[in-house]
C-alpha cells in the first residue's frame, strides 16, 4: 500500500514537473515573472491596418501569463485625446504603455510624465523625438529605409537598364516616405529617373486623392515603368486608370494587402507589364514593441532587436519568398503577411 | 439685408428677359474658359481625354454635394454635416452588401433612409426649433460620424463589383458619375426655376419675413432644404464608394470645404436668396480642374495648395468688386 502510494505520488510529481517545464518552454524569454498590466494606446484606430495591428499586439501580450490585463484606447486621430489617453492610463495604474504616437512630438510631454511616474513607456513606429531611458523606456522604430532598399533591389532586377519611377507616399513631408526614398536612392543610380514631384507625390494615403494624383501622372508621362507606393491597397481604386489611357498597369513595388493581391490575380493577364513585389506591411512591428514593454514591466529578458525590419513578402516574378497571394473569400482589407492568421484578421476587421 | 433685397429685385427683373444670364454665371464660365486655356498651354496633359475621364468623376461628386449646399445656403443656412452624410453613405454602400451585388439596392435604400432622417433632424432643429444652422449641423455631423463608426467600426470595406461598374464606369466615353451630376443639376434647376414649390423656395430664401407675410410656409421650406442636401450627400457618397472601390470610412471629410467653395464661386449669396445651380456645377468643374492643373504642372505640394487658395480668393474677390460697384450705383441714384 505504502509502495503504491509512493509510486502514485512520484508519477504525480513527474507529471507536474513535466507540465511546468512545458509551460516554461512555451513562455517567451521576454516574459518575466512579475505580474503586470499593459495598454496599447493608438493615435488613430480607424482603419483595418490598425485593427489587425491591435489584434497582433493583443496576441503577443497573451503569450505572457504574467500579463494580467490588456487594454486598448483609440485616439481617433485627435491629438488631445491621444494625450489624455496616455495620461489617463498612467494615472489608472497600468504598468506598461505601448504607444503609437501618430501626433509625433506632440505626445512627448505626456510620454515623459508617464515615464517619470515610473511606468514602462514604449512608443513605436512613429518618431516622437526624445531619448531612450530619459523620456521613455525604449523607442521601437521601423526601418523604412530597408523597405526602400528592398524595392530598389527588385526594381534593378526587373529593369536592369533603368527606367522611369513614380513614387507615391502619404502626407507631405512624412518621415516614412523620406526614409523609403533614402533607401531607394541608395540602391538605384541615375539610370532610374523619379518622375514624381520631389520628394514624392503626396497622396495622404487617401484612395480618392491617390486616384487623382495617378490620373494626372499617367496623362503627363507617356512612360511609367514602375510605381513605388508605401501603401499598396490604396492603389486598388487607382490602377484601373491605366485602362482609361489604353495602357498596361506597370510594375509595382509596394506593401501587401489582400485586395491588392486579388487585384493582381484578376488583372495580370490583361496587363503584360504588371509585375508585383511587396514587403510585409508591418503589422508585426507592434509585437516587438509589446515584447519590449512586457520584458521591462515583468523583469523578462530584453529583446535584442530594437528596430522592426519588414520582411519581403510577395514577388510575382521569382515567386520568392512567396508568390502573390489572394484570399478572395476573405475581406480585402486584411494583410496576409501578418502573423495574425487570415481568419482571425477577418474576424478583427468584421467586428 | 440689402443683398437679400437685391435678390428679390433680380427675381422681378428676371421676368423681362427670355434667357436670363446671371452675372455670376458669366464670371465663373469665363474663369473656367481661362483655366482651360491655361491648361492647354501649360499643362496639356491635364485636359487629355484620359485625364478628364479620371478626374471628372471627382468633379461630379463636388458638384452633387455643392448642389445640396446651394439649396441650404439659399435659405441663409449652412450644412456642415456634409462630411458625415457622405461618409455614412459610403460606409453603408460598402459594408451592408459586403461584396454581394444582390444586396446593393437595399443598401442604397438604407443609405437614403439614413440621409432622410439626418436631413429631417437638421431641418427640424434649424427650421422649427430655430437653432443656429452651424451649431445644429455640427451636432448632427457628430451623430452621423457615430453612425459611421457603428456601421463600419472605422474600417473600410471594398465595394461591390456592380457599384464599381455603375459609379466608376463610363457610357459613350463619359464617366457615369457625370450623368448622375447632370441629372441632379437638371432636376434641381427645373424645380427651382420652373415649379411653384421652387419659386416659393427662392422667395423664402430671399426674404423670409415677406414670404411669411404673404402666407408661405417658411419653416417647412427651410426644413426641406436640409433634407435635399442630405439626400444629395447620400447620392455623392454612394457614387464615391463605387469610384474609389476601397474607400476609407472618412471619405466625406475632404468635401465640406469644396461644397461651400463652389456655392460661393457660383455667385450665390451666403445671405440666402436666389440660387445658381448651373454656375455651381461649373464651379465644381473649375475647382477640380484647377487641382488637376496644379498636379499636372508638377509643382511641389505646397505650391499646389497655394494655387488653389489664390484661385478661390480671386473668385470670391471678383464678386466683392461687383458688390462695391453696385453700392456706389445705388448711392448715386
Number of other residues whose CB lies within 10 A of the CB of residue A99: 31
- pLDDT for A19 equals 45
Kindly tell me if the per-residue pLDDT of A14 is higher than 80: no
Euclidean distance between CA atoms A205 and A218, whole angstroms? 18
Q: Do B249 and A259 touch (CB under 8 A)?
A: no
Domains and CATH numbers, chain A: 36-143+283-311 (3.40.50.2300), 144-279 (3.40.50.2300)
pLDDT for residue B294 is more than 90: no
Q: What is the per-residue pLDDT for B12? A: 47
Among chain A residues, CA nearest to B151: A351
pLDDT at residue A168, as a whole number: 94
DSSP characters over B177-204: HHHHHHHHHHHHHHHHHHSHHHHHHHHH
| CA atoms of B212 and B193, how far apart (whole Å) | 20
Question: Quick check: ipTM above 0.95?
Answer: no
Nearest to B240 among A74, A198, A208 (CB): A208
Tell which B residues from 273 to 332 touch A, by Cβ distance under 8 Å.
291-292, 295-296, 298-302
Closest CA to A138 of A290, A310, A9, A240: A290
Angle at A136 between CA A130 and CA A137, to 5 degrees: 130
pTM: 0.78
Q: How many CB pairs under 8 A join A and B?
A: 116
Strand positions, DSSP E, B247-326: none
pLDDT confidence of residue B158: 78
How many C-alpha atoms does A206 have within 13 Å on its Cβ side?
Answer: 17
Closest by CA position to A41, among listed A4, A78, A2: A78
Of the candidates B190, B161, B205, which has an alpha carbon nearest to the alpha carbon of residue B7? B205
Residue B271 per-residue DSSP state: T
With CA atoms as reference, the chain B residue closest to A349 would be: B155
DSSP A60-104: HHHT-TTEEEEEEEE-TT-HHHHHHHHHHHHHHT-SEEEEE-TTG
A47 to chain B: which residues are within 8 Å by CB? 154-156, 248-249
Report the distance separating Cα A253 and Cα A260, nearest Å: 12
Top residue of A220, A242, A259, A335 to mutate, by most chain B CBs within 10 Å, is A220
Lowest mean pLDDT among A149-158, B8-17, B322-331: B8-17
pLDDT at B14 over 70: no
Distance (Å) from the alpha carbon of B321 to chain A's nearest alpha carbon: 34
How would residue B329 be classed by pLDDT, with cut points 50, 70 and 90? low
Going from the N-terminus, what domains does chain B have, and what CATH number goes with each? Answer: 49-296 (1.10.3470)
Question: Residues of B numbered 237-266 whose beta carbons fall under 8 angstroms of chain A's beta carbons: which are they?
Answer: 240, 243-251, 254
Question: How many residues are there in chain A?
Answer: 351
Residue B318, Cβ density class (10 Å: 0-12 exposed, 13-18 middle, ≥19 buried): middle
Query: Chain A: residue nearest B304 by CA?
Result: A202
Count Cβ atoms within 10 A of the Cβ of residue A1 and give its class: 0-12 exposed, 13-18 middle, 19 or more buried.
exposed
> Model confidence at A18, in pLDDT bands (50, 70, 90)?
very low
The distance of Cα B114 from the centroid of its chain, to the nearest Å, equals 19
Statement: residue A16 has pLDDT above 90: no
Tell me whether residues A216 and B246 touch, CB distance under 8 A: no
Q: Considering only CA atoms, which of A217, A234, A220 is closest in space to residue A170? A: A234
Burial class of residue B288, CB neighbours in 10 A (0-12, 13-18, 19+): buried
The chain B residue lying nearest A205, using CA atoms, is B248
Mutate to test the interface with A, among B154, B241, B289, B290 (most CBs of A within 10 A): B154
Chain B residues within an 8 Å CB radius of A198? 300
A346 vs B214: CA distance, rounded Å: 61
Cell numbers for B103: 444586396
What pLDDT, on the 0 to 100 scale, is given for residue A249?
Answer: 94
Q: Which of A174-183, B159-168, B316-325 has the highest mean pLDDT?
A: A174-183
CA B234 to chain A, closest CA, distance in angstroms equals 17
The 10s digit of each residue's pLDDT in A159-178 is: 999 999 999 998 887 888 99
pLDDT band at B119 (very low <50, low <70, confident <90, very high): very high
Give me the torsion for CA of B251, B257, B260, B261, rounded to 10°.
Answer: -120
Whether A211 and B243 lie within 8 Å, measured CB to CB:
yes
Please give the residue of chain A at the shortest CA–CA distance from B297.
A220
Amino acid at each position: 500500500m505504502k509502495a503504491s502510494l509512493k509510486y502514485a505520488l512520484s508519477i504525480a510529481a513527474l507529471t507536474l514537473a513535466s507540465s511546468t517545464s512545458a509551460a516554461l518552454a512555451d513562455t517567451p524569454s521576454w516574459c518575466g515573472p512579475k505580474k503586470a498590466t499593459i495598454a496599447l494606446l493608438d493615435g488613430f484606430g480607424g482603419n483595418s491596418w490598425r485593427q489587425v495591428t491591435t489584434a497582433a499586439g493583443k496576441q503577443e501580450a497573451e503569450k505572457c501569463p504574467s500579463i494580467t490585463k490588456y487594454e486598448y484606447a483609440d485616439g481617433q486621430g485627435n491629438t488631445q485625446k491621444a494625450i489624455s489617453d496616455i495620461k489617463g492610463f498612467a494615472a489608472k495604474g497600468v504598468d506598461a504603455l505601448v504607444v503609437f504616437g501618430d501626433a509625433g512630438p506632440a505626445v512627448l510631454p505626456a510620454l515623459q510624465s508617464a515615464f517619470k511616474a515610473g511606468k514602462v513607456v514604449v512608443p513605436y513606429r512613429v518618431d516622437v523625438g526624445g531619448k531612450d531611458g530619459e523620456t521613455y523606456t525604449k523607442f521601437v522604430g521601423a526601418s523604412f529605409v530597408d523597405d526602400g532598399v528592398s524595392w530598389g533591389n527588385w526594381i534593378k532586377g526587373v529593369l536592369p537598364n533603368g527606367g522611369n519611377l513614380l513614387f507615391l507616399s502619404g502626407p507631405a513631408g512624412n518621415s516614412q516616405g523620406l526614409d523609403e526614398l533614402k533607401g531607394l536612392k541608395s540602391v538605384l543610380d541615375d539610370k532610374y529617373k523619379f518622375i514624381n514631384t520631389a520628394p514624392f507625390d503626396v497622396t495622404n494615403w487617401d484612395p480618392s486623392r491617390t486616384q487623382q494624383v495617378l490620373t494626372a501622372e499617367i496623362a503627363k508621362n507617356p512612360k511609367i515603368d514602375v510605381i513605388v507606393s508605401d501603401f499598396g491597397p490604396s492603389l486598388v481604386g487607382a490602377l484601373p486608370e491605366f485602362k482609361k489611357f489604353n495602357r498596361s498597369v506597370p510594375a509595382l513595388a509596394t506593401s501587401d494587402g489582400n485586395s491588392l493581391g486579388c487585384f493582381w490575380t484578376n488583372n495580370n493577364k490583361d496587363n503584360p507589364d504588371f509585375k508585383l513585389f511587396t514587403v510585409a506591411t508591418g503589422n508585426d512591428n507592434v509585437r516587438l514593441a509589446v515584447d519590449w514593454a512586457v520584458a521591462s514591466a515583468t523583469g523578462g529578458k530584453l529583446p535584442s532587436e530594437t528596430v522592426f525590419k519588414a520582411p519581403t513578402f510577395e514577388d510575382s516574378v521569382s515567386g520568392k519568398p512567396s508568390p502573390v497571394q489572394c484570399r478572395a473569400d476573405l475581406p480585402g482589407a486584411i494583410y496576409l503577411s501578418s502573423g495574425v492568421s487570415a481568419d482571425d484578421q477577418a474576424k478583427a476587421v468584421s467586428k | 439685408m440689402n443683398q437679400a433685397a437685391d435678390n428679390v429685385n433680380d427675381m422681378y427683373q428676371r421676368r423681362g428677359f427670355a434667357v436670363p444670364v446671371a452675372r455670376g454665371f458669366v464670371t465663373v464660365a469665363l474663369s473656367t474658359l481661362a483655366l482651360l486655356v491655361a491648361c492647354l498651354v501649360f499643362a496639356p496633359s491635364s485636359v487629355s481625354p484620359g485625364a478628364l475621364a479620371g478626374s471628372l468623376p471627382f468633379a461630379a461628386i463636388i458638384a452633387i454635394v455643392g448642389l445640396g449646399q446651394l439649396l441650404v445656403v439659399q435659405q441663409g443656412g449652412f450644412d456642415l454635416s456634409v462630411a458625415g452624410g457622405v461618409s455614412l453613405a459610403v460606409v453603408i454602400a460598402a459594408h451592408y452588401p459586403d461584396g454581394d451585388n444582390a444586396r446593393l439596392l437595399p443598401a442604397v435604400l438604407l443609405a437614403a433612409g439614413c440621409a432622410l432622417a439626418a436631413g429631417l433632424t437638421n431641418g427640424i432643429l434649424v427650421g422649427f426649433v430655430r437653432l443656429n444652422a452651424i451649431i445644429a449641423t455640427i451636432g448632427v455631423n457628430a451623430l452621423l460620424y457615430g453612425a459611421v463608426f457603428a456601421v463600419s467600426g472605422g474600417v473600410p470595406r471594398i465595394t461591390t463589383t456592380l457599384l464599381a461598374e455603375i459609379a466608376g464606369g463610363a457610357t459613350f466615353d463619359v464617366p457615369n458619375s457625370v450623368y448622375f451630376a447632370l441629372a441632379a443639376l437638371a432636376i434641381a434647376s427645373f424645380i427651382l426655376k420652373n415649379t411653384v414649390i421652387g419659386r416659393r423656395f427662392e422667395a423664402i430664401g430671399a426674404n423670409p419675413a415677406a414670404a411669411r407675410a404673404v402666407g408661405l410656409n417658411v419653416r417647412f421650406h427651410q426644413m426641406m432644404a436640409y433634407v435635399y442636401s442630405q439626400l444629395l450627400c447620400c447620392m455623392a457618397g454612394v457614387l464615391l464608394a463605387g469610384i474609389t472601390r476601397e474607400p476609407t470610412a472618412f471619405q466625406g471629410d475632404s468635401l465640406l470645404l469644396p461644397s461651400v467653395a463652389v456655392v460661393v464661386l457660383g455667385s450665390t449669396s451666403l445671405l440666402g436668396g436666389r440660387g445658381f445651380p448651373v454656375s455651381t456645377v461649373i464651379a465644381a468643374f473649375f475647382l477640380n480642374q484647377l487641382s488637376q492643373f496644379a498636379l499636372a504642372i508638377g509643382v511641389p505640394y505646397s505650391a499646389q495648395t497655394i494655387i488653389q487658395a489664390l484661385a478661390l480668393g480671386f473668385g470670391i474677390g471678383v464678386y466683392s468688386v461687383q458688390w462695391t460697384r453696385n453700392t456706389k450705383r445705388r448711392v448715386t441714384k
